[in-house]
Amino acid sequence: MVRGLVNKLASESLKVAGKWQQQQLRRLNIHEYQTRMSTYICSPSLVHSMASVYRCYHNFTCYVLSIVTYSHELLHQGAELMGKFGINVPKGVAVSSVEEVRKAIQTTFPNEKELVVKSQILAGGRGLGKFTSGLQGGVHIVKAEQAEEIAGKMLGQTLVTKQTGPQGKVVSKVYLCEKMSLVNEMYFAITLDRTTAGPLIIACREGGTSIEDLAEKFPDMIIKVPIDVFKGITDEDAAKVVDGLAPKVADRSASIEQVKKLYNLFRESDCTQLEINPIAETSDNMLVAADAKLNFDDNAAYRQKEIFALRDPTQEDPREVAAAKADLNYIGLDGEIGCMVNGAGLAMATMDIIKLHGGTPANFLDVGGNASEGQVVEAFKILTSDEKVKAILVNIFGGIMKCDVIASGIVNAAKHVALKVPVVVRLEGTNVDQGKRILKESGMALITAEDLDDAAEKAVKALKS
């Protein structure tokens, strides 16, 4: 069964990539994906992509799948970056205290009668979100004299949206910006498309909240324009996008130039996603990026140092931050069985087998092909820090990764971490006999398994017992 699933996974991966796409990626010198039966070489960005696809596959809630990386920028940071590329954005300033709000109103908005107060968290859906304190909405349009009061109710409070999960995120900053006279709201995004092996611009003549619902009910309203990565965006491409947006008052030529500038931002900043919702028309016939979300490729951190220096780890899952420091690939999920696997493909297969046997994975954790004992210890610390984890499944297929190293790491982890949940271990491959001997001689109460199917079955059984 396991071999068949892995074969299917490899086959599907090759279908998705295609020979043409692989050639394009080599020519671009971006990534070269190699799919093997036992080893998956994977970037952090691709790991997040696979985990996102997994969430969609098992929750049946997403209509569009796209590569997702860490969302590194808050709204005010994104606005500053877009401004550098000549993109129209509202005038605004980020503040982190009530005193700063008062000062910003006096210095930046002395003549404004109304202001927009936006909570700053790395998640979408803020407008329809709700604070645990009871305040409804993370975005408010208020009179200038009320901005201080509403900002005070947001700062330090937890905002829950569709994208934060029930735990929400703490608002440590709010963004004050001018209230522009908007006459029309639309949707604009650029993402990476596997089918065309390049950027894809997505546009809709209606924007604002609940774009997902709109895409589901009226898919014909969504237009997609693939961009040739070698030619770059052309006037014709930009014109198609503007036609899809169908602006009512904005100057057409100026709008085409704005679309081209947005693409240049996407390309030159190594974005994996740029989403503007809404992109709006103002009463003075301008196209403005009223709200935006930007994601960046982690592999480009070395050449986008200024952007990555803006990263705020307090807005991210602390387990993912700890994993990144230990050079581990980790994404938290909502299940009860913690997984530690080597290789992204094997991790995906492991989670699928757990689901097949009636369990739910608590995470995606890939220790990679060259993990040290110390990294294995850190992996166990991260797994056991999740209160939802009721059992742990270790599934190692030793190719580059040696089974004895994993075994030694498990034993050392037991000395540093109080293992209060059952641990199921399946080892196969390089130095497997040494690894099994280390585990046996350790005296630890481990549950061993012969293959992945057996391991998943025992993990689910241990969870329920």
For the chain, give the number of residues. Answer: 465
Instruction: List residues forming the annotated binding site for ATP.
Output: 118, 125-127, 185
**Does residue 263 carry a catalytic annotation?**
no
Q: How many CA atoms lie within 13 A of 316 on its CB side?
A: 18
User: Distance (Å, rounded) from C-alpha 374 to C-alpha 406?
Assistant: 10
Instruction: List residues forming the annotated binding site for substrate.
Output: 342, 399-401
**Does residue 187 carry a catalytic annotation?**
yes
Mean pLDDT by 10 residues, the chain (465 residues): 45 40 34 26 42 39 29 64 93 92 93 92 86 95 94 95 87 91 93 93 85 81 94 96 95 96 96 93 92 87 89 78 86 92 89 94 87 85 91 86 86 81 90 91 88 93 85
pLDDT of 209: 64
Q: Whose CA is closest to 163, among 78, 77, 309, 62?
A: 62
Structure tokens given for 433: 């006999």
pLDDT of 64: 25
Structure tokens given for 271: 């974005």
pLDDT of 33: 24
Instruction: List residues forming the annotated binding site.
Output: 118, 125-127, 185, 277, 291, 342, 399-401
Helices 452-464 + 344-356 axis angle, to 10: 50
| Burial readout 412-423 (b: 16 or more C-beta within 10 A, e: otherwise) | bbbeebebebbb
User: Distance (Å, rounded) from C-alpha 221 to C-alpha 138?
Assistant: 28
Q: Which residues pair with 97 in a beta bridge?
A: none
Q: Whose CA is closest to 274, among 289, 256, 257, 287?
A: 289
Structure tokens given for 66: 């796209």
User: Distance (Å, rounded) from C-alpha 56 to C-alpha 355?
Assistant: 14
Write down the pTM of the prediction.
0.66
User: Distance (Å, rounded) from C-alpha 110 to C-alpha 13?
Assistant: 57
pLDDT of 28: 33
pLDDT of 124: 78
pLDDT of 220: 86
Catalytic pick among 100, 148, 275, 320: 275
Catalytic pick among 187, 281, 320, 457: 187
Angle at 31 between CA 27 and CA 35, to 5 degrees: 110
